[in-house]
Structure 1
Amino acid sequence: MRVQATAFQTGAVRRVALGLTLAATAALTACGGGDDGTYVPPPQSCSVADQNTWLRSYMNDWYYWYALSPDPSPVGYSTVDSYFKAKLYQGGNSVFPADRWSYSIPTADYERFFGAGQTMGYGVMVAGREVTGQPNSPLYVRYVEPGSPAAAAGLVRGDVVLAVNGVPSSTVISTDNYAALSATAAGQTLNLMVGKSGSVEARLVTLTSAVYSLVPVPTSTTVLSAGGRKMGYVMVKDMISQAINPLDAAFAQFKRDGVSEVMIDLRYNGGGLVDTASKIASYPASHRTSGAAFASLLYNDKHSSSNQTFTFGNPINALAMSRVYVLTGSRTCSASEQLINALSPFVSVVTIGNTTCGKPVGFLPQADGCGTTYSVVNFESVNARNEGRYFNGFAATCPVAEDFTKPLGSVSEPLLVAAANHADGLGCPAVTNDRVQPQSASSKLLKSWQGEPGDRFGGMVAR
């Protein structure tokens, strides 16, 4: 559900905003504050005590929920992480749910992702959420990063993981423990026993974690619907600046092919740069959106002069659509949901798949000078109609379950088929028991907006 945002008053409800330019982030890192805020000096040293003291000052100034969150003394906490968690807003306000989004990561990882367009890991992602509480269900590989160790080893979407480092997949599912899929450093080893659906054959795949370049637009194609309608399909995996050139090439091809509909696949997109999201959203319907407000980022009452508005552009290869299909799921989050919300005042947005994650708030990432970057909730995002606060996510127009044995972009893949049939005027497919229920309603499924380990962080960072 979307509601209109109102000003956030100290002790009640406050306004927030979604991101910041990397240049502004660098400035904040250097000076410890914003253009209208209190100066927050960096830690005097990298001792736990000094880092805790700094974190308290920073969060009491820039945290969106500073007036609603606990404010324990930094004394007595043996780790910075334990103090950070103690400072997070725990809920209780009727407007805002508890903060399940704020997090910290090594600064090197943050800069690698948003700067160089690279990440470190194995590159294999599984469909763990879909089998929560079902230990006897197959654990499918849902996505493999092109260029990753997993891709080099021949893993593909639809492979079935039978064991992870010798632990049966049934145990992995029942314990909800996918931590082994995330590497903490290059050179670590992951052993996967994998097979194919319906086959008794299995093979052992050994992966070594490494740094690799992201492929933010892994596939695009033009397909024909059953009714003969030309439709452009493009998957955007990461909201980073490196996505724009391949996206432009995809829409140039759509224009040459004369497509009448466009499908943007964001089912695995956990967010990223607000500027990138605004550029992506400008391609399907610039005749309606050019120059209009894409999103306004609203900070807390201490930093309201930092509020900023991003606008739609008018790229040369833009199309003139009155309807846009967006393929979604519980991992569609943050800047990806922002794209849906931003387009809604101007075109008909038809969502196909599952309910999105429900994250209308974002970060102003802040490095502490000790090797850690904190992404605490700093703002909320609203569209041109001042609509936001969709904490329950966007329900799918057409609820459709994934078939992980079908390649993404295939004419037989269920979400793509449902979008094509809808475009042909056939409406949504009938909902049956095999289709996933809305997942944003489950706190267990959304215990971390970042997804199963193996997924990367995302969020909303404006550039």
Structure 2
Amino acid sequence: MILINHQYGKKFLLPVFLIYSVLAACKKNDDVPKVPDVTAKEPLWADSVFLYASQVYLWNEQLPAIKDFNPRRYVSSEGQLHYKKELFDISQMAINSQTGNPYEFNRLIPSIPKYSAIFGASDNGPEMVTAEVSDRFGVSIVVVQEQALYVKYVVKGSDAERAGIRRGMRIVSINGRPVEITAAYIATIMKIFNEGTQLDLLCRDHNVDRRYSLAYKRNNYFEPILKDTVLSLPDGRKAGYLAYLRFTDVRHVYKDLDRVTGGFAASDVSDVIIDLRYNGGGNLTELDRLANLLAPFAADGKVMRREQYNDLVKSGKATLLSKQPIFGADGLPIYYNGRVITYGDVDYTEEKNTVYFNKTAGIGTLKDLYVIVSEHTASAAELLVSCLQPYLKIKIIGVSAAAGNLTAVRTYGKPVGFFPLVIGNMSVYYSLFRNVNANGKGDYYDGLQADISVYDDPQFDFGSRGEAGLEAALALISGQRAQHPATELIRGAAASWRDLNVQEHPPGMQKSTIMLKDGTSIRVDR
């Protein structure tokens, strides 16, 4: 079987594991249903989807016995396994006692799990977990008021950025076709953005039209910083601003975070604004690096975050993990002491999965941090806020695409992470662990609520005066709290907008290193 590595797009061969022979490892023998002597693999895969969950799922203690769940009911009379329905039903069983809703209730797309995901051979593939419209040409666009297309953002390092395209430009035509806000037109341009090799844009900037021609290049690497600048405040102080799109692949030895935060320190900024409005998460090692660069000197050596697994996994009794080899970013199995290591070799105790601050660079005197978020801010981006809350005073500014919405903005709410497990021809991403900060806090399953919410106007570039999120942050820094209540959106324009496509699953927290039970640290991103 060939799978596509969802983060790097590389192919690798992976053996198929049928675990009927280890059914008894998960429940008592009398819990295991008697099954007919069949050669069809789908019933065994159905069992496996549930049996893995009963061992490794973060809230496995709330799952029933396999005989009560009856996973084979998801196999049709024609032999087709409805694996998405099975995982969805599993994901809705664990109830959050604080809210009365399932932990994985998805308020944005109620028909799918909020965190867990499963991909079969006929799906587009696990790469859809992280794929965005911007990934092909470096440009993301939105529909404003169902009347016009605007550039939502341009990824730094892309040809689009080098050509001069920027957020706030209105798109007049795409590949020679004048913009029409119709279903047929949107379908056509989505195909161009997702599959095309050439993108020609006519963009209007301050009533001047300019043409841009972009070609798709395989293996493009885009830098995650959208904008950074130092702003002067009326009282003579300075504020640093950083818009950060995602926590990227650390193999690229990305240096700009050190440059930007070092520049903030050299400029003697008193406050920092981190713009995470479109940041859906990503690599935990890169998260740790940014947290270290922002943390005060007093945090050095103290707890940043703790990863917590369920009791069965922590105790090393989740025996099915030994059936899952660990693959590196190159798609090849990782060897140690002459054999392939598996997820059963990993130490999942909280002690070995605690990360401490190591303050060696960045800003060390920061006391106040202002974070701009949206409902799509998720995973590692939320965790950055949580990790720093015990050490900094943090104000959260929420931005919304819906002008006139009087509800306070909340982030996506994803304190959990996962790594891929393979069952038959499926890749399964169960919710496997959660992160808590030094105070043991991390239950933001309904998201982090903004202190003040404003309209996210795509006609304003990042870090530019007049952009509502930035202006709200500057008002808070200056002690001029916005005159609107926290639940009211300040409108930069009487309009609303929507993305052309919505990610079903924001990126999960991706681990770069694992600790084996013998104390050996192994990098999996090499």
TM-score (norm. length: structure 2): 0.64
Check the 8 A contact 2:296/2:367 in 1, yes or no: no
Structure 1 pair 346–31 and aligned structure 2 pair: CA distance change class (3 A): farther
Aligned residue for 1:245? 255
Once residues 451 and 93 of structure 2 are traced to their aligned partners in structure 1, the CA distance between those partners, rounded to angstroms, is 29
Check the 8 A contact 2:154/2:160 in 1, yes or no: yes
Aligned residue for 1:103? 117
The aligned amino acid for 1:374 is V
| 1:38-187 superposed matches below 5 A | 51-66=45-60, 67-68=62-63, 72-73=71-72, 75-76=75-76, 78=80, 81-82=83-84, 85-90=87-92, 93=95, 94=100, 96-98=103-105, 99-104=113-118, 109=127, 121-127=136-142, 134-136=145-147, 138-148=148-158, 150-151=160-161, 155-161=165-171, 170-172=181-183, 180=191, 183=194
Bigger Cα Rg: 2
| 1:421-440 superposed matches below 5 A | 421-428=475-482, 430=484, 431=488, 434=491
Give per-residue Cα distances to partners, 1:38-97, cap 9 Å, x unaligned. Answer: 989xxxx99756654543332232122443486522533625653554454236831535
Once residues 451 and 272 of structure 2 are traced to their aligned partners in structure 1, the CA distance between those partners, rounded to angstroms, is 16
| 1:375-414 superposed matches below 5 A | 375-414=429-468
Structure 1 pair 205–278 and aligned structure 2 pair: CA distance change class (3 A): same
Once residues 214 and 402 of structure 1 are traced to their aligned partners in structure 2, the CA distance between those partners, rounded to angstroms, is 24
**More displaced, 388-397 or 81-90?**
81-90
| 1:202-281 superposed matches below 5 A | 208=216, 210-240=218-248, 241=250, 242=252, 245-281=255-291
Aligned length: 406
Once residues 224 and 455 of structure 1 are traced to their aligned partners in structure 2, the CA distance between those partners, rounded to angstroms, is 39
Aligned residue for 1:462? 511
Structure 2 stretches lacking a partner, 5+ long: 1-11, 27-38, 106-112, 316-347, 400-408, 513-526
Using the TM superposition, give the Cα deviation of residue 215 of structure 1 relative to its aligned residue in structure 2, in angstroms: 0.4
Aligned residue for 1:332? 377
- How large is the Cα RMSD of the aligned pairs? 4.5
Check the 8 A contact 2:190/2:500 in 1, yes or no: no
The aligned amino acid for 1:251 is T
Structure possessing the higher relative contact order (Cα contacts under 8 Å, 6 or more residues apart): 1
Using the TM superposition, give the Cα deviation of residue 252 of structure 1 relative to its aligned residue in structure 2, in angstroms: 1.3
Check the 8 A contact 2:457/2:492 in 1, yes or no: no
Check the 8 A contact 2:49/2:423 in 1, yes or no: no
Structure 1 pair 211–135 and aligned structure 2 pair: CA distance change class (3 A): same
Once residues 253 and 277 of structure 2 are traced to their aligned partners in structure 1, the CA distance between those partners, rounded to angstroms, is 16
Check the 8 A contact 2:192/2:199 in 1, yes or no: no
Aligned residue for 1:18? none
Once residues 242 and 272 of structure 2 are traced to their aligned partners in structure 1, the CA distance between those partners, rounded to angstroms, is 8
Once residues 178 and 363 of structure 1 are traced to their aligned partners in structure 2, the CA distance between those partners, rounded to angstroms, is 33
Using the TM superposition, give the Cα deviation of residue 251 of structure 1 relative to its aligned residue in structure 2, in angstroms: 1.5
Check the 8 A contact 1:271/1:334 in 2, yes or no: yes
The aligned amino acid for 2:84 is S
Once residues 233 and 192 of structure 2 are traced to their aligned partners in structure 1, the CA distance between those partners, rounded to angstroms, is 37
| 1:269-418 superposed matches below 5 A | 269-305=279-315, 306=348, 307=350, 308-354=353-399, 355-368=409-422, 373-418=427-472
Once residues 18 and 382 of structure 2 are traced to their aligned partners in structure 1, the CA distance between those partners, rounded to angstroms, is 30
Check the 8 A contact 1:120/1:211 in 2, yes or no: no
Aligned residue for 1:6? none
Structure 1 stretches lacking a partner, 5+ long: 1-25, 440-444
Check the 8 A contact 2:169/2:459 in 1, yes or no: yes
